[in-house]
Amino acid sequence: MPLDSVPATVSADALAAKRRAADGQCHVDVGFWGGVIPGNTPELEPLARAGVAGFKCFLADSGAPDFPPVDAGQLTAALRVVAGLGRPLLVHAESARAAAPARAYAGRGYAGYLASHPRGLETLAVAEVIEAARSTGGHAHIVHLSSSDALPMIASAQREGVRLTAETCPHYLTLTAEEIGDGETACKCSPPVREAANRELLWAGLREQVLGLVVSDHSPCTVPMKAPDTGDFGLAWGGISSLQLSLPLTWTQARRRGIGLAQVAAWMSAAPARLAGLTAKGRIAAGYDADFCVLAEEESFVVDPGQLHHRHPATTPYAGRRLHGVVQLTLLRGQAIDPGRPRGKLLRRMQ
């Protein structure tokens, strides 16, 4: 992703710096997304030529001073440009305009934090994205949707031929507001985890193909950034480290609902590969890279932070949770991954 690392990927020079830093460090193949911020429209074409998979922007404060949000006019202008570049624009869809009158929340209560991020913030932002995509013909993609209230609008736009796709995440499909205790800041993310009834409607959105992807939205931070000493949701970083657990989290919930592993693979592999333009990824077919994980789908394990490979594993909200689906082996382009020998490629999107 283009932010939360220095420099933000909002220019071709910044992308080159990221690629230099990542070269030889990756255990899997990695692609890069460019960023859209106010004033960097001239950089979008050079970023596309340099091979970014697409672009991402925020409609509300990203929490990163070097990655400010765009307004509705800037969103429309960016979509018009990226449409011509054949790339999607990923949008963090919360409305800064609607959030502006609200006082920033401070305190240990999860209910208070949830109330400070009402569903309407997503609903209004999604409406802006739909109309921008409709008027420009650009492909807009709603990232990490948490509010089921937006699903009817998204479905309607898709039926009308608007180039709009949307995703949700394992934490929204697993956690519920009712189970998050006061001070449990490991569960803080933005948009927030909502109620159990909302979770079931997100699952329905996946079944009905309104939502097409399940992605990690991996958002790591140091332990102090989660404010564990105070448990203050206003001070804590808003993000969840999900990458290593994304598959078992999603599979655990899917199997309870009678959803098969092939469908989970479609949501988590095939659809993301299409979105990112990775033409050799996401399918078991001739000519595609042989990227696999060997999954013992009926085996279970209890999440132990000490066994996580995230840089700051203690911040997980899943400690002690029993999950199904044990990854026994991972293959990259047909060869088992060796933790001691990174051989991931840095990918470029060329179309």
SS3 assignment for 142-196: ECCCCCHHHHHHHHHHHHCCCCEEEEECHHHHHCCHHHCCCCCHHHCCCCCCCCH
Q: How far is the C-alpha of 90 from the C-alpha of 144, rounded, in Å? A: 10
* Residue 328 in this model has a pLDDT that exceeds 80: yes
Residue 284 has, within 13 A of its CA and on its CB side, a CA count of 6
Instruction: Map out the domains of the chain as residue ranges.
Output: 93-283
- Give the chain's length: 351
Which candidate, 138, 139, 140, 105, places its Cα nearest to that of 125?
140
**Could you confirm whether domain 93-283 is CATH 3.20.20.140?**
yes
Q: Which amino acid is at 101?
A: P
| pLDDT for 100 | 72
| CB neighbour list of residue 200: distance below 8 Å, 6 or more residues apart | none
191 neighbors 168 (Cβ within 8 angstroms): no
- Token digits for 155? 């479905």
Phi, psi of 267 (to 5 degrees): -70, -35
In the block, which residue shows the tokens 């409609």?
A: 59
Reported as a pLDDT band with limits 50, 70 and 90, residue 45 is: very high
Once rounded to an integer, what is the mean pLDDT over residues 313-318?
93
Once rounded to an integer, what is the mean pLDDT over residues 173-194?
97
Once rounded to an integer, what is the mean pLDDT over residues 37-48?
97
* Residue 63 in this model has a pLDDT that exceeds 90: no
Reported as a pLDDT band with limits 50, 70 and 90, residue 249 is: very high
In the block, which residue shows the tokens 């939502």?
A: 211
Dihedral sign for Cα atoms in the order 21, 27, 29, 30: negative
| pLDDT for 308 | 94
Per-residue pLDDT tens over the stretch 259-298: 999 999 999 999 999 999 999 999 999 999 999 999 999 9
Reported as a pLDDT band with limits 50, 70 and 90, residue 177 is: very high
Provide the whole-model pTM: 0.96
Which candidate, 266, 272, 275, 270, places its Cα nearest to that of 288?
270
The fraction of the chain above a pLDDT of 90, given in percent, is: 93
Reported as a pLDDT band with limits 50, 70 and 90, residue 350 is: confident
* Residue 203 in this model has a pLDDT that exceeds 80: yes
Task: Pick 64 or 201 by higher pLDDT.
Answer: 201
Reported as a pLDDT band with limits 50, 70 and 90, residue 158 is: very high
Dihedral (Cα; 214, 322, 146, 117), 10-degree rounding:
-150
| pLDDT for 103 | 74
* Residue 225 in this model has a pLDDT that exceeds 90: yes
Q: How far is the C-alpha of 170 from the C-alpha of 154, rounded, in Å? A: 20
| pLDDT for 229 | 96
The fraction of the chain above a pLDDT of 70, given in percent, is: 100
| pLDDT for 4 | 87
Chain mean pLDDT for the chain: 96
Per-residue pLDDT tens over the stretch 119-146: 999 999 999 999 999 999 999 999 999 9
* Residue 101 in this model has a pLDDT that exceeds 80: no
Reported as a pLDDT band with limits 50, 70 and 90, residue 99 is: confident
What's the DSSP call for residue 269? I
Burial of residue 25 (CB within 10 Å: 0-12, 13-18, 19+) is exposed
* Residue 311 in this model has a pLDDT that exceeds 80: yes
Question: What pairs with residue 332 in β-bridges?
Answer: 335
* Residue 351 in this model has a pLDDT that exceeds 80: no
| CB neighbour list of residue 221: distance below 8 Å, 6 or more residues apart | 237, 239, 241, 312, 315
| pLDDT for 196 | 98
